[in-house]
Amino acid sequence: MYQKIREVSKRFDVAPWTIWRWVNDGFFPAPYRFGPSTIRWCEDDIKKFEVRSATQM
């Protein structure tokens, strides 16, 4: 399953630009492009990020 930027930002309670900043900083997984204007994040990648982040705290 794939999520839009709004869904991802809501999940982490941050602004969409924060997600993009995290991606650019290499902190958050990069999205997949399905076309020129269709960008989504994979649910599995997000879950792996959550697990990795939880173990680093």
pLDDT tens digit sequence for 6-42: 999 999 999 999 999 999 999 999 999 999 999 999 9
Domain count, the chain: 1
Residues 6+ apart with CB under 8 A from 42: 1, 2, 29, 32
The predicted structure's pLDDT at residue 47:
97
pTM confidence score:
0.88
User: What CA–CA distance (Å, rounded) separates 50 from 47?
Assistant: 5
- Domain interval for residue 38: 2-56
